[in-house]
Amino acid sequence: MPKRVRNHEEILHERLRDPKYAAGYLNAVLEDKGPDHKERFLMALRDVAQSHGMSRLAGETEIAREAMYRALSQNGNPEFETLTSVLDAVGLRLAIEPKKQAF
């Protein structure tokens, strides 16, 4: 009997349901600076949101599903409340840390 092959997106979404994995995923994107830094972060946050179900998150955050897709698109510009609501709904929070200093 042949094995069922899962695609990369399916495996990623399964892993992103774990808050620790999702936090590491988002932090890795934030650390990787570049010209499309904002767009890559929004796409990564969208991956995390999709892994939890956009319809469920829309109901939990009281943000329309279509508005959430727009805010988390490559050209999106989510409000601070939208960002924190989505993070909270997937079991994450926004935190500020001091930069690590090299001595």
Residue-level pLDDT, tens digit, the chain, 103 residues: 666 767 888 999 999 999 999 999 999 999 988 889 999 999 999 999 999 999 999 999 999 999 999 999 989 999 999 999 999 999 999 998 888 776 6
- 13 found inside a domain: no
- 2 found inside a domain: no
* Amino acid at residue number 97: E
The pLDDT of residue 3 is 67
Write out the residue range of the structural domain in which residue 51 sits: 19-89
- 103 found inside a domain: no
- 44 found inside a domain: yes
Distance separating alpha carbons of residues 25 and 28, to the nearest angstrom: 5
- 27 found inside a domain: yes
- 81 found inside a domain: yes
- 6 found inside a domain: no
Number of domains in the chain: 1
Residues 6+ apart with CB under 8 A from 73: 42, 46
Distance separating alpha carbons of residues 19 and 40, to the nearest angstrom: 19
27: its two tokens: 């932090």
Distance separating alpha carbons of residues 86 and 48, to the nearest angstrom: 9
Residues in the chain: 103
The pTM of this model reads: 0.86
